[in-house]
């Protein structure tokens, strides 16, 4: 029987473990943290009984993941749930709401250009996502659908926003595009926004019932069926620690993979890993809020996600400053109200509120007040409802998970080059150049998210070569 060690238990590490184990490989997962799950963990971070998502909170790309389908994670207990409105974007004079249907969103925005752009993409999202959830260098099975998606994705966000007619529609798109953590005038900076918006219209901006930890729990349930062994509280620093195994899957950042492989890694690949670029950081604050958030923009009171970026131009200016290493006076803040989709996370009228601001890489200051003030700006009276907070700085973020270098929660800058070729230019992006050793983290295609597709693809590459 072949043997494998998976280093790291994020969704990609666990997806790799499960895929290998299901193919008959004896797998052991080694995790540095005392708990499993990496970016998909939940905890009572503020007050007893309130379930907060420690990292990933909302999952427009996870529901349709081929990995989740192949292993029937729903059958293993993973249930997705949606708030009445997917996403709200309050503005000084009203706001914009993203509904499950592109047509309903366009009607609310009074902007037919929204459904003209996103309606056809959402209708074909299953074939489109099949293409972008694998390495970019492949012969597409659906070239025409992909071309339309690619034509929007390749644009700078500034140009993509101009395809929409009204200021509210532009602001709404800017908020989803900001998930790329990229300046809006750079090529391909629209790609993540196009993918997330389209996925929201296809599947919804969903939360996992019981907390994001339920994603890890479902994969672990399947892993147990195949006898995967688990070891926590052990950080791997070198391949030499692992003894003789046929396969090693590294659910780590590229720099860490280079250190773990040491001299066994060819110099050019080591160089590529050591010069892999990380993006800006996230500064996270979880709140326990009594009575929910008193948003002025009514639809935000029913939305699973709320983006606080202001107009398209304001979001663009904030993202540009962050990329230059400065904290804007009004940073882009994402607020997660997962409890609206999943009331089991609340205790009576006390609710767990999730938020993070985009901050410069390795930001050493305290953005708690900036985040609180941003929410208060759109929800006067919010401060008075806060009963407890839990803060995670960029330093805490890296300490909690070594993959989030400098607080980079998406494991690698989404530059044009790294969107297309990550972690390096290669037709085999999972290969590390060390026989039997593969990189399987979000630093590989298709990138960040709790979809497990990096691990799933890497495991198939490893099995092909075994
Ligand atoms: C604050 C925050 C918000 C996010 N929001 C969302 C969201 O809403 N939706 C979404 O889809 N995604 C979101 N993400 C991103 C998502 O969580 C990640 O893209 C995803 O978890 C990546 O999975 P992974 O398996 O590649 O790595 P990770 O989940 O980062 O896991 C890597 C694991 O490897 C372990 N490890 C690393 N090095 C070693 C070592 N040397 N030895 C042993 N173990 C090691 C780490 O401890 C960690 O457990 C968010 C992330 C953060 C932090």
Element at 308 (helix H, strand E): strand 303-308
Contact by Cβ (8 Å): 290, 353: no
Q: Which residues contact 198 (CB under 8 A, 6 or more apart)?
A: 118, 121, 122, 125, 128, 149
Is the C-beta atom of 8 inside 6 A of ligand 1? Answer: yes
Q: Per-residue confidence of the chain (466 residues) as pLDDT tens digits?
A: 999 999 999 999 999 999 999 999 999 999 999 999 999 999 999 999 999 999 999 998 888 899 999 999 999 999 999 999 999 999 999 999 999 999 999 999 999 999 999 999 999 988 888 877 888 777 777 777 778 888 899 999 999 999 999 999 999 999 999 999 999 999 999 999 999 999 999 999 999 999 999 999 999 999 999 999 999 999 999 999 999 999 999 999 999 999 999 999 999 999 999 999 999 999 999 999 999 999 999 999 999 999 999 999 999 999 999 999 999 999 999 999 999 999 999 999 999 999 999 999 999 999 999 999 999 999 999 999 999 999 999 999 999 999 999 999 999 999 989 998 999 999 999 999 999 999 999 999 999 999 999 999 999 999 999 9
C-alpha 445 – ligand 1 centre gap (Å): 14
Cα 222 vs. chain centroid, distance in angstroms? 22
pLDDT digits (tens, 9 = 90+) for 127-181: 888 877 888 777 777 777 778 888 899 999 999 999 999 999 999 999 999 999 9
Sheet holding 247-250, edge to edge: 229-231, 26-30, 3-7, 247-250, 437-439
Ligand 1 neighbour 277 (Cβ under 6 A) = no
Q: Structural domain boundaries of the chain?
A: 3-40+61-79+208-276+412-465
Which tokens in the block code for residue 325? 């290493």
Instruction: Please tell me the predicted confidence (pLDDT) of residue 398.
Output: 94
CATH code, residues 3-40+61-79+208-276+412-465: 3.50.50.60
Q: Is the CB of 284 under 6 A from ligand 1?
A: yes
In the reported structure, the alpha carbon of residue 124 is separated from the centroid of ligand 1 by a whole-number distance in angstroms of 29
Is residue 6 within 8 A of residue 459, CB to CB? The reply is no
Residue 302 C-alpha to ligand 1 middle, in angstroms?
28
Report the SS3 class of residue 302. helix
Q: Are 32 and 42 in contact (CB under 8 A)?
A: no
* Res 63: pLDDT: 85
**In angstroms, what is the span from residue 229 Cα to ligand 1's centroid?**
20
> Using CA atoms, how far apart are residues 302 and 188, in angstroms rounded to an integer?
31
Q: For a ligand 1 pocket test, name from 5, 38, 133, 440 the mutation site with the most ligand atoms within 8 angstroms of its C-beta.
A: 38
What's the gap in Å between 266 CA and the centre of ligand 1? 26
Confirm or reject: Cβ of 252 under 6 Å from ligand 1: yes
Atom 35 (ligand 1) nearest CA: 8
Q: Is 448 in the pocket of ligand 1 (CB under 6 A)?
A: yes
The verdict on the CB of residue 408 being under 6 Å from ligand 1 is no
Q: Take atom 27 of ligand 1 and give the residue whose Cα is closest.
A: 10
Question: How confident is the model at residue 361, as a pLDDT?
Answer: 97
Q: 4: which DSSP letter? A: E
pLDDT of residue 80: 97
3-state secondary structure of 309: coil
**Cα 12 to middle of ligand 1, angstroms:** 8
């Amino acid at each position: 029987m072949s043997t494998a060690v998976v280093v790291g238990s994020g969704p990609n590490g666990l997806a790799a473990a499960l895929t290998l184990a299901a193919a008959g490989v004896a797998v052991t997962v080694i995790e540095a943290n005392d708990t499993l799950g990496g970016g998909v963990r939940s905890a009572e971070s503020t007050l007893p009984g309130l379930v907060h998502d420690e990292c990933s909170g909302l999952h427009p790309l996870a529901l349709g993941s081929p990995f989740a389908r192949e292993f029937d994670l729903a059958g293993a207990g993973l249930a997705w749930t949606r708030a009445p409105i997917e996403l709200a974007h309050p503005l000084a004079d009203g706001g914009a709401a993203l509904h499950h249907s592109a047509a309903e969103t366009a009607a609310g925005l009074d902007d037919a250009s929204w459904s003209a752009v996103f309606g056809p993409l959402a209708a074909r999202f299953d074939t489109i996502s099949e293409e972008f959830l694998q390495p970019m260098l492949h012969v597409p099975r659906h070239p025409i659908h992909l071309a339309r998606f690619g034509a929007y994705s390749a644009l700078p966000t500034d140009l993509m926003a101009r395809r929409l007619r009204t200021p509210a529609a532009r602001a709404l798109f800017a908020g989803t595009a900001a998930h790329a953590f990229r300046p809006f005038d750079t090529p391909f900076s629209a790609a993540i926004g196009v993918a997330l918006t389209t996925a929201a219209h296809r599947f919804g901006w969903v939360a996992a019932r019981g907390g994001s930890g339920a994603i890890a729990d479902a994969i672990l349930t399947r892993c147990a069926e195949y006898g995967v062994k688990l070891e926590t509280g052990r950080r791997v620093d070198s391949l030499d620690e692992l003894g003789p195994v046929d396969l090693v899957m590294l659910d780590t950042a590229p720099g860490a993979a280079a250190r773990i492989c040491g001299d066994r890694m060819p110099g050019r690949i080591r160089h590529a890993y050591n010069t892999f670029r990380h993006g800006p950081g996230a500064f996270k604050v979880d709140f326990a809020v009594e009575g929910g958030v008193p948003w002025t923009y009514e639809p935000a009171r029913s939305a699973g996600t709320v983006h606080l970026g202001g107009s398209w131009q304001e979001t663009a200016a904030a993202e540009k400053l962050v990329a230059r290493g400065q904290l804007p006076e009004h940073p882009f803040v994402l607020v997660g109200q997962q409890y609206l989709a999943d009331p089991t996370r609340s205790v009576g009228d006390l609710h767990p509120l999730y938020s993070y601001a985009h901050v410069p890489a390795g930001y050493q200051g305290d953005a708690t007040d900036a985040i609180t003030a941003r929410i208060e700006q759109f929800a006067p009276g919010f401060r008075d409802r806060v009963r407890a907070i839990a803060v995670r700085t960029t330093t805490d973020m890296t300490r909690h998970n070594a993959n989030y270098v400098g607080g980079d929660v998406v494991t690698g800058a989404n530059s044009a080059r790294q969107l297309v070729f990550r972690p390096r230019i290669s037709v085999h992006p999972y290969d590390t150049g060390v026989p039997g050793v593969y990189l399987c983290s979000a630093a590989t295609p298709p990138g960040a998210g709790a979809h497990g597709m990096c691990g799933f693809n890497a495991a198939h590459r490893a099995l092909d070569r075994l």
